[in-house]
Each structure stands twice: as structure tokens, then as C-alpha cells.
Amino acid sequence: MARVAIVTGGTRGIGEAISLALKDMGMTVAANYAGNEEKARAFTDRTGIAAYKWDVGDYDACQEGCAKVAADLGPVDVVVNNAGVTRDGTILKMSREMWEDVIRINLGGCFNMAKAVFPGMRERKWGRIVNIGSINGQAGQYGQVNYAAAKSGIHGFTKALAQEGARAGVTVNAIAPGYIDTDMVAAVPADVLEKIVAKIPVGRLGQASEIARGVAFLCSEEGGFVTGSTLSINGGQHMY
């Protein structure tokens, strides 16, 4: 039986590349999305991958969404918590809503999804959870106290849940992407982005497929001894 995988935010950007990479590994993939139905339909037409709409920041919606995927495709073996948003601004200009949205969606989404799938993975003694963190959760970033806090939280969440899953065959890992050529990064003002790219030793933005490759490894059968780790894929921008 093919493994069943859910990729949150899986119809665009890094998530789309991850959905495709897991499909190429022979998995049955469900790509979750929160927003644009038209774009999601185009994604399904393009890739043959089913798209499911729910908000990962909503606990009940995650329970319902994951149950629906399991009913349609089978028990969920793999979850990639990729969905995330930015609400950038210096703390002087950051509203409480900008803070709460990012914590609820980026960090809360990981908890909500794990609550929905972790019990079944434990019972079946096999699971892979990959959480997409960020270089900005490791190093901080001017204008992103909300995003850096949520992504940093994801790295702690990963190490804690990895300890709970280890004996039951459930690995939990994180990837910390650097600046990747996606709509999210394209939204950074051009002059600011230029300065950021100048500090990337590899000398360019990353490609979504370069993140997906790492996710595919962590989700593979052979990845079973890797747990609680963070794989940085950032062109050398942050080394430690």
C-alpha cells in the first residue's frame, strides 16, 4: 500500500514542490490549502494531486480535514507542516492581530495537525512528520518578531515531539529553509531583498525543489534513524 501524505499549504510555492516530490516517491498525496480555490483546482489539474481546503490554524478544521483525507485515501502516514504566512513589520508597527495570526497559523498549525495524526501513527508504529521552520527562526530577522518566534517555536516543538514518537517509529524533523524563490519572498521589498541575497554565500535564492528534496529524504523509509534534527537548506546564509 502506498503511504498517504498530507502537505499543508501544499498547492503553491515550497509546498507544491514537496507535494510533487512525495508523489514521485510513490506516495498518495493530499495537498491542503486555505485560500484560493481556483489556484488549487489548477494545481490538481496540473499534477493529479487532490487538494483539500481547511485552515491549519483552526483546531477543529484540522481534525475534520485529516479525517476526510483518511476516509478518502487511507490512514495518514506522513504530514509535512509547511503552511505559513508572514505579517512583517517592526514591533512598533506590528498589531496584536499580526502577532496572533502568525503564531496561530505557523506554530499552532503544527500542533493542530500533530493532534490529528500522531495517535494513528503511533498505533500503526510508523510515521513521518516534517515541520518547515526557517532560517529566520534560527537567526532572527528585522521586522519579524512574530514569524521568528513562531518558526523558532517549531524547532522546539520538533525536538519535543521527536522524543515522544521515537519508540513508536514516528520520526519528527524540521527543515530550516533560507530565502527561497517563492511568492512569499517576492513580497519582500526589492531593495531589502537585494541586500539579503548579497549575504547568501551561494549567491542566489534557493529553489523550492531544493527544499522538497530534503523533505523527501526525511519522509523516506531510509530516514528512520533521523529524528529531532533540523536540516538547514539556506545557501550557507546561516551556519552554526
Active site residues: 147
CB within 8 Å of 7: residues ≥ 6 apart: 15, 18, 19, 22, 29, 30, 31, 32, 79, 80, 82
How many residues does the structure list for the chain? 240
Contact criterion met (CB below 8 Å) for 7 and 29: yes
- Comparison of 76 and 205: residue with beta carbon closer to ligand CAA: 205
Q: Closest CB to ligand CAA among 40 and 175?
A: 175
Stretch that binds ligand CAA, among 39-47, 73-81, 113-121, 187-195 (CB under 6 A): 187-195
Q: Kindly state the DSSP code that residue 167 receives in the 8-state scheme.
A: G
When asked if residue 179 is in the footprint of ligand CAA (CB under 6 A), the reply is yes
Q: Which stretch binds ligand CAA (CB under 6 A): 71-79, 107-115, 155-163, 188-196?
A: 188-196
Assess 94 for contact with ligand CAA (CB under 6 A): no
Q: How far is it, in rounded angstroms, from Cα 89 to Cα 146?
A: 9
**Cβ 207 vs Cβ 14: under 8 Å:** no
Judged by CB under 6 A, the stretch of 57-65, 82-90, 110-118, 158-166 that binds ligand CAA is 82-90
For the bound state, the minimum distance from the C-beta of residue 225 to ligand CAA, rounded and expressed in Å, comes to: 27
C-alpha cell at 226: 533521523
Residues near ligand CAA, by CB under 6 A: 86, 88-90, 93, 134-136, 141-144, 147, 177, 179, 184-185, 188-189, 192
